[in-house]
């Protein structure tokens, strides 16, 4: 066992740390997901990373990557450092591009599709949204009704997708469809890349509790060439499961819990009210330490998964489910604790004068509800652990 980065990895990490300090615009820090008005700034920042080859650190050279020789953990370190620098929104975008879609394309995409997409993705020229869930299909993704009808060279895709974050600013929708007529449940699904501005695509933005935007996507006989099918037709479920484990591992990185809490602890260390240090109150001390201990467990699970995925063939299904479940368990608990310690100051919202940590925790309190549902939330991930890890009986078909 060795819980240290190798000298190469450590050097890369410090390089990323310096790069962020030097090149990251202040406007895109502090957000859970990037707002539409900051997309251009974010893409310019990602482009600078791409110029250094970082987006494709683990990808083969033929697609514009560095061939994976830099360090097996480069992707992990990059995401980690973005969270460390309060750049969760950028980490999420990067995860869409590289972590989920890039890696899945690399594993199962056709040669043509890889050639068409990967070089532009690794160069930060494309944005994506992930389109799985529907009004009647949340956790139960196998019940989706969006269908792709075979029409010669093309699919004609119709249906409705809900909670498709970043759809409004995307170039492509990574879309789960039912491609085989008469199929049901896990069989007969496929993943198709749908151009976001293709005729028949309508995208409506709506707001989540803390001002974050997400989208409803209507697909009305959208014509998509069959070469935009990802992997094997009808095998979308298997591709989806692996992509989901990657998603939980990167986008749902536990650092999104631990780093803000550590910033909060730093604030408590120096905060005073009426001339008294908050950090001298025994109740504050005990409750912060208790949350620190809980959070350490999640950080450790994240680390285990990160170390194991240095082997590119390892899919960290259980570790990822555990991280996501645990992140959901702590979502309101940590926000409630932080706000209790800040008292009424914690209710002040972003850009309010005197708001501690610029109102991050008031926003977090609204966001916490999303934690309980996003990426399977608490209960779907427990189901994965129970049924795939502990071999308990299945209760769903």
Partner 1 sequence: MDVRLTDEQQMMVDSAREFLQATCPLATVRQWEHLPDGYPAQIWARMAEMGWLGAVYPESYGGMGLTNLDMTLLMREMGRVALPGPFLSTVLLASRAVLEGGTEAQKAALLPRIAAGELLLSFAFVEESARPEAATVRTTARLDHGSYVLNGTKHFVAFAEQADRMLVVVRTREAGDPEHGLTMFLLDARAPGIEHVSLGTLALQPEAKVLLHDVRVDAADVVGRVDHAWEILDPVLQAATAIVCGYMTGIAEAAHELGVSYSKERVQYGQPIGAFQAIQNYLATAWAKNTMGEYLGYYAAWLIDQGIPSREAVSTAKAFVGYAAVESTQLATQLHGGLGATVDARTTPFLRWAKQLQQTLGNCQYHEKVVAAEILDRDPSGFDEKHALALV
What are the strands, taking DSSP E only, across 116-256? 128-131, 147-151, 154-162, 172-178, 189-195, 201-207, 213-225, 229-230
**Could you tell me which of 286, 276, 280 has the C-alpha nearest to residue 337?**
286
Q: Which of 325, 335, 368, 375 binds partner 1 (CB under 8 A)?
A: 325
Binding to partner 1 by residue 184, rule CB under 8 A? no
Residue with tokens 């699970």: 301
Q: Looking at 105-113, 179-187, 202-210, 298-306, which segment touches partner 1 (CB under 8 A)?
A: 298-306
Contact between residue 12 and residue 53 where contact means Cβ atoms under 8 Å apart:
no
Residues 327-346 that bind partner 1 (CB under 8 A): 329
Nearer to partner 1 (CB atom), residue 34 or residue 252: 252
Q: Which residues of 332-369 are buried (b: 16+ CB within 10 A; e: fewer)?
A: bebbebbbebbeebbebeeeeeebbbbbbbbbbbbbbe
Nearer to partner 1 (CB atom), residue 14 or residue 209: 14
Nearer to partner 1 (CB atom), residue 6 or residue 202: 6
Q: Which of 25, 135, 225, 297 binds partner 1 (CB under 8 A)?
A: 297
Residue/partner pairs of 340-345 with CB below 8 Å, 24 or more apart: 340/287, 341/268, 341/278, 341/284, 341/287, 341/288, 343/273
Show the site string, 87-126: x = touches partner 1 by CB under 8 A, - = not.
----------------------------------------
Min dist. Cβ of residue 33 to partner 1 (A): 23
CA 73/CA 75 separation, integer angstroms = 6
In the DSSP assignment, the letter for residue 151 is E
Residues 252-281 that bind partner 1 (CB under 8 A): 265-266, 268-269, 279
Residue 177, φ and ψ in degrees, nearest 5: -135, 160
CA 215/CA 66 separation, integer angstroms = 35
Q: Which of 300, 333, 340, 343 binds partner 1 (CB under 8 A)?
A: 300
Contacts of residue 130, Cβ cutoff 8 Å, sequence gap at least 6 = 96, 100, 101, 164, 165, 173, 174, 247
Binding to partner 1 by residue 294, rule CB under 8 A? yes
Contact between residue 203 and residue 165 where contact means Cβ atoms under 8 Å apart:
no
Min dist. Cβ of residue 9 to partner 1 (A): 7
Min dist. Cβ of residue 116 to partner 1 (A): 35
Q: Looking at 60-68, 101-109, 155-163, 303-311, which segment touches partner 1 (CB under 8 A)?
A: 303-311
Q: Looking at 135-143, 208-216, 349-357, 374-382, which segment touches partner 1 (CB under 8 A)?
A: 374-382
Integer CA distances (angstroms), 356 to 30, 245, 344, in order: 13, 35, 10
Contact between residue 28 and residue 87 where contact means Cβ atoms under 8 Å apart:
yes
Min dist. Cβ of residue 303 to partner 1 (A): 5
Min dist. Cβ of residue 110 to partner 1 (A): 34
Q: Looking at 6-14, 37-45, 227-235, 236-244, which segment touches partner 1 (CB under 8 A)?
A: 6-14
What token pair was written down for 214?
């997400």
Binding to partner 1 by residue 372, rule CB under 8 A? no
Binding to partner 1 by residue 354, rule CB under 8 A? no
Min dist. Cβ of residue 268 to partner 1 (A): 7
Nearer to partner 1 (CB atom), residue 316 or residue 346: 316
Binding to partner 1 by residue 21, rule CB under 8 A? no
Residue 132, φ and ψ in degrees, nearest 5: -110, -55
Size of the site for partner 1 (CB under 8 A): 58
**Could you tell me which of 221, 227, 220 has the C-alpha nearest to residue 192?**
227
Nearer to partner 1 (CB atom), residue 77 or residue 173: 77
Nearer to partner 1 (CB atom), residue 11 or residue 202: 11
Nearer to partner 1 (CB atom), residue 151 or residue 311: 311
Binding to partner 1 by residue 14, rule CB under 8 A? yes
- Residues near partner 1 (CB under 8 A) are 1-7, 9-10, 14, 73, 80, 84, 265-266, 268-269, 279, 285-286, 288-290, 292-294, 296-301, 303-304, 306-308, 310, 321-322, 325-326, 329, 379, 381-387, 389-395
């Amino acid at each position: 066992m060795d819980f240290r980065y190798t000298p190469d990895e450590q050097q890369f990490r410090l390089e990323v740390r310096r790069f962020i300090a030097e090149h990251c615009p202040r406007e895109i820090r502090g957000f859970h997901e990037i707002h539409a008005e900051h997309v251009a700034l974010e893409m310019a920042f990602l482009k600078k990373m791409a110029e250094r080859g970082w987006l494709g650190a683990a990808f083969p050279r033929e697609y514009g990557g560095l061939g994976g020789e830099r360090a097996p953990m480069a992707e992990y370190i990059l995401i980690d450092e973005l969270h460390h620098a309060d750049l969760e929104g950028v980490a999420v975008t990067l995860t869409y591009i590289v972590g989920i879609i890039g890696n899945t394309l690399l594993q199962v995409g056709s040669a043509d599709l890889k050639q068409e997409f990967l070089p532009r993705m690794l160069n930060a020229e494309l944005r994506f949204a992930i389109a799985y869930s529907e009004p009647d299909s949340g956790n139960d993704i196998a019940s989706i009704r969006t269908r792709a009808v075979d029409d010669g060279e093309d699919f004609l895709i119709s249906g409705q997708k809900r909670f498709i974050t970043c759809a409004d600013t995307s170039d492509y929708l990574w879309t789960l469809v039912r491609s085989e007529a008469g199929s049901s449940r896990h069989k007969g699904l496929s993943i198709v890349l749908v151009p976001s501005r293709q005729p028949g695509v309508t995208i409506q933005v709506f707001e989540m509790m803390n001002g974050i935007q997400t989208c409803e996507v209507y697909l009305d006989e959208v014509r998509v060439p069959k070469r935009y099918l990802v992997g094997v037709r009808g095998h979308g479920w298997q591709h989806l499961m692996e992509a989901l484990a990657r998603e939980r591992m990167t986008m749902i990185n536990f650092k999104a819990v631990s780093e803000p809490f550590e910033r909060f602890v730093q604030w408590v260390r120096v905060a005073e009210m009426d001339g008294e240090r908050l950090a001298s109150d025994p109740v504050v001390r005990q409750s912060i330490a208790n949350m620190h201990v809980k959070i350490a467990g999640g950080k450790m699970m994240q680390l285990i998964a990160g170390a194991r995925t240095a082997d590119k063939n390892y899919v960290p299904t259980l570790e990822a489910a555990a991280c996501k479940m645990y992140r959901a368990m702590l979502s309101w608990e940590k926000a409630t604790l932080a706000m209790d310690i800040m008292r009424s100051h914690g209710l002040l919202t972003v850009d309010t004068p005197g708001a501690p940590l610029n109102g991050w925790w008031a926003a977090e309190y609204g966001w916490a509800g999303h934690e309980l549902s996003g990426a399977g939330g608490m209960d779907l991930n427990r189901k994965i652990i129970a049924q795939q890890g502990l071999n308990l009986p299945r209760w769903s078909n």
